[in-house]
Amino acid sequence: MVSAIVFTPLFAALILLMLPPEDEEGARRLAFGASLLTFVISLGLLAKFESGTADFQFVERFAWITDFGIQYHVGVDGISLFLVLLTTFLMPLVLLASWDDVHKHVKEYLFFFLLLETGMVGTFVALDMFLFYVFWEVMLIPMYFLIGVWGGPRRIYAAIKFLLYTMVGSLLMLVAILYLAYQYNAQHQTVTFDLLRLYDLKLSLIEQKWLFAAFALSFAIKVPLFPFHTWLPDAHVEAPTGGSVILAGVLLKMGTYGFVRFAIPLFPEAAHAAVPIIMALAVIGIVYGALVAMVQPDLKKLVAYSSVSHLGFVVLGLFAFNVQGVEGAVYQMLNHGLSTGALFLLVGVIYERRHTRLISEYGGLWKQVPLYASIFMVVMLSSIGLPGLNGFVGEFLILLGTFRANPLAAILAVSGVVLGAVYMLWMYQRVIFGPITNEENAKLVDLSRREVMIFVPLLAMMLFMGLYPRPLLTRMEKSVEATLARVNVLRQASPEQSRRAQHEQLPNSIGATHASPLQTAPKLIAER
């Protein structure tokens, strides 16, 4: 089933190439249909997923390049499950959104999108390091072309900047992957790239640090973590709407996913050593991204910088190394995919009509396009983490987890919650409220039926994830705990276990029977 999700888009992409070039409508239908089919198949994953285990499910595995022990090995757990779903969910919406938007080389545009989907899903499900790397690189090419061909005026600059930043990171990562396989061979006399086996590799601290650094740099660029973020605003501004949505909605998650799947569990001690630096960068990113977003004159740049801020939260949660922080981070990845994806779609809607993204060009839109304004309002509130909508659950859990790991970081990060409201509300006011000052805006037409169809599923998910997060959180829980167990924080120190200990030793004096997680965690690391 997993392979079907990975390769359906690729298959459709290949068929697409065989269609006659003038049949644009047919190509659109085919691509949309394929992405919809992929989504439906991925719902099967959700239906059959067992939440009681941390094991990878729907595993498919067979030898690929036997001489180097490279396998085709894919599967999902509670973390990747929802990222796959996010990808397959966003894809049809994006294709629907670019229905009237893109008229240049339609077939190629769709081809690259479908190829991109294969790359993205593959990256999330790959359990073989080499396979992962292949998918990781497969993603880059279509995105490069999507920006470089269908982008704005400075698209070449932006596309190259995007490619280079990402390539630099991924080359280092490749070296690190090869080193891992080499070490495994040295220790076990077999070559393998199997992630699950590499988890058990024994590495000295200094080795870990180097390898972690190589992975972390690659992922930090992708996230992007401050100060590796300057490719992002350029890429977003130049990318076509669909490209921005996928870039923000899914591609950025590759970085955070990479941390939680690879960098952290493979090199736990190094990850611990890096906590102060990464937390500091994350907090700086949160505040910095929000402040810079506040003064952006361009809507897309504003949303791009807000991503820097939001992804800072995700990284902060991951490096809190407790259940709440990591679950919140995974949840926030999904939230960000929905709300920032929706924000880019909304910007795309008015860009398509007015061909400008400057905030100062707008104002007073509510009067003219009330439906658009109302949907914009909900998306904005989701983005600033209003309770009842999805953003709150993730942000709250992240801050809760961070507060335990490092209260100072939480205190600083909370200011991001305030600033988030500042830049969003200010932008919204300038675009939507006030009198209509620009005559052009008086001619705007409200959302078409097709456009409404794009936003309804997004809004429905925002509400659902805000009101009833449990189905998602319970499916994540075991996998998150397993990851944390590898980082060795959870063992003996989890709240559950302390609670269990509490119950067993209830007659003893409360609180004295066990040390707090905060105190035990560093000790465990030191002992290891």
Chain positions 217 to 256 lying near another protein, rule: CB under 8 A, are: 217, 227-228, 230
Place of tokens 């190589």: 214
Cα 415–Cα 378–Cα 360 angle in degrees, nearest 5: 75
Q: H or E element: which one contains 64? A: strand 57-65
Q: Is 511 left (phi over 0), alpha (psi -120 to 50) or beta?
A: left
Residue 446: both structure tokens together: 């409200």
Q: Which residue's entry shows tokens 């285990």?
A: 53
Which of 17-25, 50-58, 71-79, 380-388 is the region at the interface with another protein (rule: CB under 8 A)? 380-388
Question: For another protein, which residue of 108, 194, 238, 327 counts as binding (CB under 8 A)?
Answer: 327
Q: Which stretch binds another protein (CB under 8 A): 130-138, 173-181, 209-217, 247-255?
A: 209-217
Which of 79, 76, 84, 80 has the alpha carbon at shortest distance from 121? 84
Question: Which residues in the 452-471 window bind another protein by CB under 8 A?
Answer: 467-470
Q: Residues 359-378: x/- map of binding to another protein (CB under 8 A)?
A: -----x-xx-----------
Q: Which is nearer to another protein, 327 or 451 (CB)?
A: 327
User: At 406, which amino acid appears?
Assistant: N
Of the candidate spans 77-85, 105-113, 384-392, 447-455, the one that interacts with another protein by CB under 8 A turns out to be 384-392
User: In this complex, which beta carbon is closest to another protein, that of residue 20 or of residue 511?
Assistant: 511
Q: Would you count residue 43 as binding another protein (CB under 8 A)? A: no
165 near another protein (CB under 8 A): yes
Please identify, using beta-carbon distances, which residue of 69 and 265 lies nearer to another protein.
265
Q: How far is it, in rounded angstroms, from Cα 136 to Cα 222?
A: 11
Piece of the chain touching another protein by CB under 8 A; list 57-65, 68-76, 320-328, 340-348 = 320-328
Q: Phi then psi for 61, rounded to 5 degrees?
A: -155, 125
Residues 271-290 that bind another protein (CB under 8 A): 273-274, 277, 288
Nearest residue (CB) to another protein, 79 versus 400: 400
Judged by CB under 8 A, the residue of 161, 272, 310, 357 near another protein is: 161
Backbone φ and ψ for 72, nearest 5 degrees, come out as -90, 105
Q: Toward another protein, which CB reaches closer, 116 or 381?
A: 381
Piece in contact with another protein (CB under 8 A), picked from 96-104, 126-134, 159-167, 186-194: 159-167
- Region binding another protein by CB under 8 A among candidate stretches 22-30, 99-107, 352-360, 387-395: 387-395
Residue 313 is a binding residue for another protein (CB under 8 A): no
Report whether 513 contacts 501 (CB < 8 A). yes
Rule CB under 8 A: is residue 291 a binding residue for another protein?
yes
- The neighbour count for residue 262, using CB atoms within 10 Å, is 25
Identity (one letter) of the amino acid at 153? P
- Using the minimum distance from each CB to another protein, give the nearer residue, 78 or 348: 78
Among 19, 41, 54, 167, binds another protein (CB under 8 A): 167
Burial class (CB in 10 A: 0-12, 13-18, 19+), 434: middle
Q: Which of 311, 258, 313, 278 is nearest to 483 (CA)?
A: 258
- Coil vs helix vs strand at 363: coil
Please give the residues from 483 up to 522 whose contact with another protein meets the rule CB under 8 A: 494-496, 498-499, 502, 510-511, 516
259/48 Cα distance (integer angstroms):
27
Closer to another protein by Cβ: residue 185 or 520: 520
Total number of residues that touch another protein (CB under 8 A): 77
Rg of the chain (C-alpha set): 23
Beta strands in 195-348 (DSSP E): none
* Per-residue CA distances from 212 to 257, 279, 483 (Å): 14, 15, 16
User: Between 126 and 180, whose beta carbon lies closer to another protein?
Assistant: 180
Please report how close the Cβ of residue 362 comes to another protein at its closest, in angstroms. Answer: 13
Closest approach of another protein to the CB of residue 414, in Å = 4
Q: DSSP 3-state assignment of 277? A: helix
Both tokens assigned to 306: 């807000």
Site for another protein in 418-447 (CB under 8 A): 418, 421-422, 425-426, 429, 432-435
Q: How many CB atoms lie within 10 A of CB 287?
A: 17
Is residue 77 part of the contact set for another protein (CB under 8 A)?
no
412 is a site residue for another protein (CB under 8 A): no
Can you tell me the distance from the alpha carbon of 443 to that of 440, in angstroms, rounded to the nearest whole number?
Answer: 6
Smaller CB separation from another protein, 122 or 285: 285
| Smallest gap from residue 447 Cβ to another protein (A) | 16
Cα–Cα distance measured from residue 41 to residue 63, given in angstroms and rounded to the nearest whole number:
25
